[in-house]
Amino acid sequence: MTPVVRAAASVAAAGIMSAVYQQLSDASDRRRFPPPGRMVDIGGRRLHLVEMSEGSPTVVIVPAVADNVLQWLRVAEGAAETRVCVYDRAGIGWSDPPPPRRRTPEIMAADLHALLSAADIPPPYVLVGHSMGGIVARRFYAQHPGMVAGMLLVDSSHEQQQRYFAAADWRKGPILLVRVAAQRQARILGARRLAASLGLARGLDAVIAREAQPQCAMAYRAVMLSSRQRRVSVRELLMMTHTWGQPPRLDSIPLTVLTALRRLDESLLPAWVQMQEELAALSSDSVHVTVRESGHYLHLDDPDLVIKAIRDLVRRCR
């Protein structure tokens, strides 16, 4: 056997061992970390839903690309002056995988409607959409306007976001998202999981410490290292390389737009501000708040601000 063949065989064997280790670890994690909420059947698939408190209108939090319920628990608990719900989209966190067909904001909005109906959570709803979740929230309103009492957009994506970014810098439009998706797809999860178990994944540990409450840290790590999570995060990133028409009008429902001005890439800030101003103009009853000290993950940088915005919006809706 030549050295090249031996090296290729070694790489193949390591890949197989990594895949088997990853598959066994995924199954173990599902047993070790049961869902913190309830699993709701929406017609052959189950979505994971966490609920807090009681009251009307019901606040429904729609997370960003690949984000799960654990990232939003602190805000949900703080805003629970009324009923608050946060869920995992298909394939995220504890939810079952989505069908193999192409994902779109319309399909995600339809899933959300099916979830709320199957969970017996009646309208009216106050939708809280973060980043891509803002597009899903607006699609939900377009499909079911009579069910939505108000909307909070937390540094929301814009339906024409990639066109705006590409105009500002062609390297920062769809090409950037494709690159990020390719990087995630190329991760060897078994090796990454092993490094995490040996305490060698300091970057991952830092993300977990920032995004999850201490009592949820191990469950959050399991979610981050799951094959299902990686597959769906890549699909959602690729979905966001598209444009989706113009943002639908929100008529006169109470609307609050929170815009973070601390960007990783300052060259995109003017385009981002323009998009946020367009979103704030979607309703005739809107409030636009800009935040200089926080970044895109406002609910992590300043959870009290997001909690207050939810409470204020619920009072406006009432």
Indicate if the pLDDT at residue 181 is higher than 90: no
pTM comes to 0.91
CA distance 251 to 38: 34
Task: Give the helix/strand (H/E) hosting 31.
Answer: helix 3-32
CA distance 95 to 74: 20
Q: What is the pLDDT of residue 231?
A: 87
Domains of the chain are 38-317 (3.40.50.1820)
CA distance 82 to 236: 30
Query: DSSP letter at 144?
Result: -
Assigned token pair, 153: 């957009």
Indicate if the pLDDT at residue 7 is higher than 60: no
Q: What is the pLDDT of residue 23?
A: 63
| Polymer length of the chain | 318
User: In this predicted model, what pLDDT tens digit does every residue of 231-243 receive, in sequence order?
Assistant: 888 899 889 988 9
Indicate if the pLDDT at residue 193 is higher than 70: no
Q: What is the pLDDT of residue 14?
A: 44
Look at strands 46-52 and 84-88 and give their pairing: antiparallel
Assigned token pair, 59: 């606040």
pLDDT band at 100 (very low <50, low <70, confident <90, very high): confident
Assigned token pair, 212: 């999850």
User: In this predicted model, what pLDDT tens digit does every residue of 204-220 receive, in sequence order?
Assistant: 778 888 888 999 888 88
Residue in 81, 79, 99, 83 with CA at minimum distance from that of residue 91 = 99
89-93, 263-267, 301-305: which has the minimum mean pLDDT?
263-267
